[in-house]
Amino acid sequence: MLRYLIRRLLAAAAILLVITVITFVIFFALPSDPALLACGKTCSPSRLAEIKHSLGLDQSFLTQFWEFFKGLLAGRDFGDQSVRVHCGAPCLGISFQTDTPVLSTLLGDFPADLSLGLGAAVFFLILGVGLGTLAAVRRGRAADKAAVGLALLGVSVQIYFVGLLLLYLFVDKWQILPASGYTPITQDPSAWFQGLILPWATLVIVYLALYTRLTRSSMLEVFAEDYMRTARAKGLSAVKVVLKHGLRAAITPIITIFGMDVGSLIGGSAVITESVFGINGIGKLAVDSVQNSDLPVILGTTLFTATFVVLANVVVDVVYGLVDPRVRLA
Amino acid sequence: MRAADEQEHAVSTTQPAGEHLLDVRGLTKHFPIRHGIVFQRQIGAVHAVDGIDFTVAAGQSLGLVGESGCGKSTTGRLVTRLLKPTAGRVVFDGEDITHTPENRMKEARRNLQMIFQDPYSSLNPRHTVGTIVETPMRLNGINPPQGHKKRAQELLETVGLSPEHYNRYPNEFSGGQRQRIGIARALALRPKLIVADEPVSALDVSIQAQIVNLLQDLQREFGIAFVFIAHDLAVVRHFCERVAVMYLGKIVEVADRRTLYTGPRHPYTHALLSAVPEADPDGTRRRERIRLAGDVPSPVDPPSGCRFRTRCWKAQERCAREEPPLVRLAGSTDGHLTACHFPEEPSVAAREEDIVLDPALSASGDSESTSS
Amino acid sequence: MSLLTSPQPADADPAAAPFLDVRDLRVHFPTEDGIVKSVDGVSFSLEKGSTLGIVGESGSGKSVTSLALLGLHKGTRAQVSGEIRLEGRELVSLPEHDMRALRGRTVSMIFQDPLSALHPYFTVGAQIAEGYRVHHRVSKKEARDRAVEMLKRVGIPQPERRARDYPHQFSGGMRQRAMIAMALVCDPELLIADEPTTALDVTVQAQILDLIRDLQEEFGSAVVLITHDLGVVADIADDILVMYGGRRIEYGTVHDVLKEPQHPYTWGLLESMPQITGDVERRLNPIAGSPPSLINPPGGCAFHPRCTYKGWVPGGRCATDRPELLPVPGTGRHLAACHLTPETRTEIRGRTAAGAAQ
């Protein structure tokens, strides 16, 4: 088990390295010049060269990559003799735009994504599995059709539409909720919760559909299994047969997908939700950095998100090994 | 008669050794067990078939019996080269086909056909029956004088289907009829040997007999030799003049059918025969009762020495140390080979005391039906 | 007429009703193509301590019958009618809640394929203990101990350790033993075994059949054994019920049915099956054709399209009149549903015997 974990983590590190290289290459293939952007409207060639030098852009591709990689493992120093900034390992560089270390920006924005992603995930998992189970049990009847219809609706609507609609209804028209946004939970738990209700609801509506459908089909498959008949033959109640024997088997494939979704959500993939509700999260940071050709931030956000997705993968496999006794991790 | 040049492994006492249609020596197949994500390491192997020798003469039928994991189906696939052996030699019709490259297997394939167990998955559902039966002829460039279609229809008639079935699809047929289509396909090339892997075990009892009779008729009419693989000892006895018993990748006993079913020497053959239920309420009382303990061990890590020793009531220290060779024992007839250090008496009659190794079973001889 | 429901003499003791008495059981499944009459008027009875073998090919209705005994068609689309009396209590009309109290405790079942019939995600011990706790108010620990004790009884070595294993870690034979342990954990009075050995190897099959017989003697339960294998019933059953197309065609003691079979279908089953002893030169005598449709069964005797001897019945009655299940003259408890007269049957059997001898 431990050996398996170590091997998986090494493989994950290798994947992250590949992602770093690809991001670097893509950045250099792009026509935009971050130095030019930083230089402003009245830019003289000498000033441009100066900026290029201070950003390290005058060095070769390989040197830049090596510097970045070294910083990641051992930290690095930025600036010239006059202003020297140390960036400790793991150093993701310093933003071209704001001159702050990328990692601290990321960590500053991370709680927002964590709150948004985890909170929504808890809701859509419970509701989705519940609805899906209900639909499977009532297969072909009204409850099933309603759940399936709801799921279809959820798949077909877009986040900005749902998000803006909810904002309009709950904040502007009925004024039930305060303007949404992110308040750290340490600062004001009630504001944290109220500000996140609508973003959560938006994500839940979109993801719920997927989970309802997954659970329904997985459940129906399990219902046809011989061991469900065995459970009935023992004299178990219908509820117990479904919730204990059925759900236990049906949930296993869902765990895989859930893990991946949570990983990418808290890694900043809920960009649209963030921007609709004005939450400063990693998704928004990533979009801004691309617009500003801010290489260190682009790299930082990409790596950060990738790390979560890759780690979620490992976690999912380990969890799978725990819930399915037939899977041996070695 | 030809005792002098008769080999120990000869398939029949009446056939000279040189005239075997199929000659298998030291045939071995190990399936590697691999682990790992990117770099797969081999951590073991399933010893599916572990060095077996047998021969089949033209027109003869050899039965391979044994329980799951004994390697009988793998043997069938090795002989027809659907699998590549790990070691050993397969000589068919005088030609060593063990390592013949795929593109040069045509000639051998023509004479060496296979019938499969599952009549539902072995026929392509998108092809008509006609296409299925004709394809082997076309692939092998055989152009019968009467044309492919006529020939296919004749074959359908031969196997008891109607020529009108030519344009139909496999899903329109029952299991027994599908097995007939599979047989017609195998017959299309007029093979010299057919390997039949559990050809009737997926069928209902009443249908099994139809297929067994059909195969017997074909064997007699066209002189086709058979390797007949089945777990049903009664069917094998009915179909095969000669029967080999396999256990965990080895042949433990081989003899002509009468000898094997009435005078076996290997304890496993005794156990196997005694376990066969008989549709005669008095039958079980006449026959010996042997109840082994537990199941067949894993072929990944087979026992040392004699592989049956872990379930054998006669096992001694020597059985773990030395692997018994498959030889003619003192007192056995010619062509009756047994791999056992401590063989049994050649009789299957009820013993004074039942051999019951299963701890959950009572050893008292109350095995007979309580109908009276 | 109890004569038609039981091979026992009708007037044996009217006061004592049989332990299990099934009368005119019908299980019909409505489908888009029509009503599938899987079981269509089946009756039989069974006493405690004895074994009934229900024999038939696929589609004969034998498995559907067994599920009806457990009331497992309740809550599905199946339409069940007729009577199933277990110690005088009628089960067909019993509400699901009351039936549930019987399942696993009074009536329990061993299924064909133990790998798919056991839950892959729960340990074997937990699954057996669960069956015990459904019907007994005991602690988890007590139920666990009971499970280990049952595993030990069915011959699983190191039961304490094996109870913590999952089904996939068991071999096929051991899995079926675990299934048997689960079925017997509440000492059921009626045990239904649906093809309990079909998925097993022959030496393991012999072990399992002997085990079922030993346990039956020990617990005194009644056993219904569903199988397609006449060899298996000959080995273990007291009575045999032969089913064809959802109906009974022959019913009697093992000895009567196998030694003096009366119905051409039973003859066919026996003659189409090679034997481990006897003449290898004797050609198998298969039953022509294939099993009947259950939606539009053949008129008259369902077996007549495949029957070699329908010509011996005058007036083509086989295709028009359904033969009644009648006692074979000279026997009290042997019933057969065939228009052939006893004399004709004797004549035909004499001929085939002579043919086999040649």
Q: Do C290 and B176 touch (CB under 8 A)?
A: yes
pLDDT of residue A106: 87
Which chain A residues touch B37 with a CB distance below 8 Å? 7-8, 11
Q: Do A229 and C121 touch (CB under 8 A)?
A: no
Answer whether C1 touches B (CB < 8 Å).
no
Spell out the residues 6+ positions from residue B242 whose beta carbon is closer than 8 angstroms to its own. B11, B12, B60, B61, B62, B63, B254, B255, B256, B257, B335
In this predicted model, what pLDDT tens digit does every residue of A93-110 receive, in sequence order?
888 778 788 888 888 888
Alpha helix stretches (DSSP H) within chain A = 2-29, 34-39, 45-55, 61-74, 102-137, 142-156, 159-166, 189-223, 226-233, 238-240, 247-264, 271-276, 282-291, 295-323
Nearest to B114 by CA among B228, B29, B208, B200: B228
Tell me, what amino acid is at A315? V
Euclidean distance between CA atoms C158 and C87, whole angstroms: 38
Mode of pairing for the β-strands spanning B95-96 and B242-247: unpaired
Euclidean distance between CA atoms A34 and A268, whole angstroms: 24
C residues 91-130 lying closer than 8 A (beta carbon) to B: none
Euclidean distance between CA atoms B246 and B264, whole angstroms: 13
Spell out the residues 6+ positions from residue B296 whose beta carbon is closer than 8 angstroms to its own. B67, B68, B69, B70, B247, B248, B311, C171, C201
Please give the class, per CATH, of domain B22-247: alpha beta
pLDDT of residue A208: 87
To 10 degrees, what angle do helices C172-184 and C140-153 make?
130
Residue A158 CB-density burial (10 A; 0-12 exposed, 13-18 middle, 19+ buried) = exposed
To 10 degrees, what angle do helices A61-74 and A2-29 make?
140
Phi, psi of B11 (to 5 degrees): -75, -30
Size of interface A-C (CB pairs under 8 A): 70
The first and second tokens of residue A237, run together, are 């109640």
Quote the minimal CA–CA distance from A87 to chain C in Å: 49
Asked, for residue C132, whether it belongs to a domain, the answer is yes
Tell me chain A's radius of gyration from C-alpha atoms.
24
**Alpha carbon distance, N-terminus to C-terminus of chain C:** 44
Mean local confidence (pLDDT), C301-329: 90
pLDDT of residue B139: 85
User: How many domains, in total, are found in chain C?
Assistant: 1
pLDDT of residue B14: 39
C residues 262-291 lying closer than 8 A (beta carbon) to B: 268-277, 280, 283-288, 290-291
Beta bridge partners of C247: C244
**Considering only alpha carbons, which residue of chain A is nearest residue B34?**
A330
Q: Do B37 and A330 touch (CB under 8 A)?
A: no
Cα→Cα distances A281→A168, A181, A286, A290, C96, Å = 22, 11, 9, 15, 55
Asked, for residue C98, whether it belongs to a domain, the answer is no
DSSP B166: G
Tell me, what amino acid is at C9? P
Which chain C residues touch A252 with a CB distance below 8 Å? 121
Residue B15: pLDDT over 90: no
Range of the domain at C153: 115-187
Contact B207, C273 (CB under 8 A): no
Asked, for residue C136, whether it belongs to a domain, the answer is yes
Q: Percentage of chain C surpassing pLDDT 70? A: 94
Quote the minimal CA–CA distance from C57 to chain B in Å: 6
Contact C250, C257 (CB under 8 A): yes
Which chain A residues touch C166 with a CB distance below 8 Å? 325-326
Contact C280, B238 (CB under 8 A): yes
What ipTM did this prediction achieve?
0.86
Confidence of residue C1 (pLDDT cuts 50, 70, 90): very low
Q: Do C214 and B361 touch (CB under 8 A)?
A: yes
**Considering only alpha carbons, which residue of chain B is nearest residue C199?**
B68
Answer whether A330 touches B (CB < 8 Å).
yes
Q: Do C284 and B212 touch (CB under 8 A)?
A: yes
Confidence of residue C15 (pLDDT cuts 50, 70, 90): low
pLDDT of residue B363: 62
C residues 249-268 lying closer than 8 A (beta carbon) to A: none
Quote the minimal CA–CA distance from A229 to chain C in Å: 8
* Backbone angle region of C113, left / alpha / beta, with phi > 0 → left and psi within -120 to 50 → alpha: beta
Q: Which residues of B have a CB under 8 Å from any CB of A?
A: 35, 37-38
- When mean pLDDT is compared over A47-56, B215-224, C268-277, the highest value belongs to B215-224
DSSP assignment of B55-98: EEETT-EEEEE--TTSSHHHHHHHHTTSS--SEEEEEETTEE-S
How many residues are listed for chain B in this entry? 372
Asked, for residue C291, whether it belongs to a domain, the answer is no
Mean local confidence (pLDDT), C319-329: 90
Which run of H or of E encompasses C270? helix C264-271
Q: Do B37 and A11 touch (CB under 8 A)?
A: yes
Q: Do A11 and B38 touch (CB under 8 A)?
A: yes
Residue B327 CB-density burial (10 A; 0-12 exposed, 13-18 middle, 19+ buried) = middle
pLDDT of residue C151: 94
- Domains belonging to chain A, first-starting first, are 2-87 (no CATH), 102-329 (1.10.3720.10)
Q: Provide the mean pLDDT of chain B.
A: 86
The more confidently predicted of residues C107 and C295 is: C107
Which chain A residues touch B34 with a CB distance below 8 Å? none
**Alpha carbon distance, N-terminus to C-terminus of chain A:** 6
Mean local confidence (pLDDT), C286-294: 85
In this predicted model, what pLDDT tens digit does every residue of A145-197 receive, in sequence order?
888 888 778 778 777 788 888 888 888 888 877 777 788 888 888 888 888 88
The first and second tokens of residue B286, run together, are 């006449």
Asked, for residue C213, whether it belongs to a domain, the answer is no
Answer whether A2 touches B (CB < 8 Å).
no
Contact C75, A237 (CB under 8 A): no
pLDDT of residue A243: 92
Answer whether C131 touches A (CB < 8 Å).
yes
Spell out the residues 6+ positions from residue C236 whose beta carbon is closer than 8 angstroms to its own. B369, C51, C53, C209, C212, C213, C223, C225
Name subunits touching A (3+ CB pairs < 8 A).
B, C
Cα→Cα distances A143→A131, A213, A239, C74, C76, Å = 9, 13, 17, 21, 18
The first and second tokens of residue C334, run together, are 């042997």
Euclidean distance between CA atoms C284 and C293, whole angstroms: 25
**Alpha carbon distance, N-terminus to C-terminus of chain B:** 51
Q: What is the 3-state secondary structure (H, E, C) of B303-318?
A: CCCCCCHHHCCCCCHH
Domain ranges of chain B: 22-247, 263-278+286-371
What burial letters (b/e) apply to C71-108, b meaning 16+ CB within 10 Å? bbbbeeebebebebbbeeeebbebeeeebbebbbbbbb
What burial letters (b/e) apply to B107-136, b meaning 16+ CB within 10 Å? ebbbbbbbbbbebeebbeeeebbbbbbbbb
Answer whether A141 touches B (CB < 8 Å).
no
Longest dimension (CA), chain C: 70
When scoring A141, A222, A230, A251 by the number of chain C Cβ atoms within 10 A, the one with the most, hence best to mutate, is A230
Which chain C residues touch B370 with a CB distance below 8 Å? 50, 238
Cis peptide before A90 (omega within 30 of 0): yes
For chain B, the helix, strand and coil percentages under 3-state DSSP, each to the nearest 5: 30, 20, 45
Phi, psi of B53 (to 5 degrees): -120, 135
Mean local confidence (pLDDT), B26-46: 80
Q: Hunting for tokens 């669960």 — which residue is that? A: C130
Residue A39: pLDDT over 50: yes
Q: Do B37 and A7 touch (CB under 8 A)?
A: yes
Quote the minimal CA–CA distance from A259 to chain C in Å: 20
Spell out the residues 6+ positions from residue B113 whose beta carbon is closer than 8 angstroms to its own. B80, B136, B185, B186, B187, B189, B191, B193, B194, B195
Contact C346, C339 (CB under 8 A): no
Residue A330: pLDDT over 70: no
pTM, entire model: 0.83
To 10 degrees, what angle do helices C172-184 and C124-135 make?
10
Quote the minimal CA–CA distance from A12 to chain B in Å: 12
Confidence of residue C18 (pLDDT cuts 50, 70, 90): very high
Which chain B residues touch A15 with a CB distance below 8 Å? none
Answer whether A237 touches C (CB < 8 Å).
yes
Beta strand extents in chain C (DSSP E only): 20-31, 34-46, 51-55, 79-86, 89-90, 107-110, 190-194, 222-227, 239-244, 247-253, 326-327, 335-336
CB neighbours of residue B10 within 10 Å: 20
Name subunits touching C (3+ CB pairs < 8 A).
A, B
Secondary structure class of C255 (helix, strand, coil) = helix
When scoring C96, C119, C136 by the number of chain A Cβ atoms within 10 A, the one with the most, hence best to mutate, is C119
Residue B253: pLDDT over 60: yes
Q: Do B206 and C270 touch (CB under 8 A)?
A: no
